[in-house]
Amino acid sequence: MTGPVQPSAAMREVRYEIRGKLANRAHEMERRGYEIISLNIGNPGAFGFRTPETMRLAMIENLQSSEGYCHQKGIFPAREAVVMQQQDRGVPGVTAEHVFIGNGVSELIDLTLRGLLNSGDEVLVPSPDYPLWTAGVTLNQGRPVHYPCPPETGHEPDLAALEGLISDRTRAIVVINPNNPTGAVYSRATLEAIVALAERHDLLIFSDEIYDEMTYDDAEFVPMATLVDRVVCVTFSGLSKVYRACGYRVGWATVSGDIDRAGAYLDALELLASLRLCSNVPAQWAVQTALGGYQSIRELVAPGGRLFETRRAIIDCVAASPWLRVVAPAGSMYAFVGVDQQALPNFDDNEFAFDLLEQKHVLVAPGVSFNVAYNNYFRITLLPDAKQIKEVFSRIGELLDGYAVKDLEKKSG
């Protein structure tokens, strides 16, 4: 008798709890008729956000040109639009040959890591991280090494700890700015220090900037590519978040910096891009219109805008709670909310997330999903409106109040 089919051993080290057991349980409850408020994923379309109409029209008008394969790097108008954006931001030396269009940033993370890593190579990944980065390194035979971005630093990288983790096997540093899951927007000084570190140790920089236009108040987003000269930088962005077009699955990776040293790497990326033939063609026609058109995201993140006001509601709800704390998100579409374990010493984020789902019908992502060593955080998206967020935090408060009563009963019992 033959045994069960065994998956790759590498899968033992891979997790993506954002769409894991909790999400599956939520889907099961919805099928049974429960109304679940799903705040685990940054999916704008699920909360009534629409892709700009001009982007939809650009796709429709070019459908006749979208029925065959395109160039493995993507259609030229889309790549040239990315080049123009980079030039407007002050990034020198980038041409369309340095731009790769992919089926979302997710595919490009895998592709760029695969083109770089040998077995046992190390990549510095932030903690907390967007877990695809850790999984991508692992699945491409590398070893993710997590550097801390603690709340004590406003979730910016601990630079001394970061440098202390570099070894002779380190190949690259991952930077997620604006950050998912914390909402941190890194200062120019922090980014310059990371560039200097990469120069000293001859490391490549992967800069995940998918939330590049989502900043609040006076936060300044500094594109990493504007700071590099003597290192190779790969910048990632796309249509999913800023343009509310997750389902279009269009992202791009731009190679900049010391391009003369990147020739062999660029060839490897083009070969990998060729092996998957090309990315989704119809949606690529929306890129030029998106980047060159009216930037409606600015209204959403300004005072009075939907994202800004939801962010304000989260900050206010946390401030009013005896159990919660948060570093106010300066960017992206998430808040990384902490629970005071001195007040609630038995708190566990996984247990909390399951209880919140089962008892209060709210789905969040527990902090351990983002490769942290502590278990007292959860991530929540800013996509609902402020009224719904206040309802969510009312339910969270009820659950945490119940935890406090149980803790008192344990002490007195």
How high does pLDDT run on average in the chain? 95
In 3-state terms, what secondary structure has residue 193? helix
- 348-378: per-residue pLDDT in tens? 999 999 999 999 999 999 999 999 999 999 9
Distance of alpha carbon 93 from alpha carbon 83, whole angstroms? 9
Q: Count CB atoms within 10 A of the CB of residue 382.
A: 29
- What integer pLDDT is reported at residue 132 of this predicted model? 95
Q: What average pLDDT score do residues 125-135 get?
A: 96
Q: What average pLDDT score do residues 137-151 get?
A: 96
Choose the weakest-confidence range: 1-5, 266-270, 313-317.
1-5
pTM, full prediction:
0.94
Q: What average pLDDT score do residues 156-179 get?
A: 97
- What integer pLDDT is reported at residue 413 of this predicted model? 62
Choose the weakest-confidence range: 7-16, 198-207, 284-293.
7-16
Q: Are the beta carbons of 276 and 317 closer than 8 angstroms?
A: no
Q: Could you write out the DSSP letters of every residue in 95-135?
A: -GGGEEEESHHHHHHHHHHHTT--TT-EEEEEES--HHHHH
- What integer pLDDT is reported at residue 191 of this predicted model? 98
Distance of alpha carbon 326 from alpha carbon 315, whole angstroms? 7
What's the first-to-final CA gap in the chain, in angstroms? 55
Tokens, residue 111: 């592709």
CA 135 to chain centre: 13
Give the percent of the chain with pLDDT over 70. Answer: 100
- What integer pLDDT is reported at residue 406 of this predicted model? 85
Question: Is residue 39 predicted with pLDDT exceeding 80?
Answer: yes
CA distances from 326 to 134, 168, 379 (A): 24, 36, 10
Question: Is residue 17 predicted with pLDDT exceeding 90?
Answer: no
Side chain identity at residue 340, one-letter code: D
Q: What average pLDDT score do residues 276-282 get?
A: 94
Cis peptide before 303 (omega within 30 of 0): no
Which residues are CB-contacts of 273 (< 8 A; sequence separation ≥ 6)?
72, 73, 100, 102, 111
In order of start, what are the domains of the chain with their CATH numbers? 9-50+299-412 (3.90.1150.10), 53-292 (3.40.640.10)
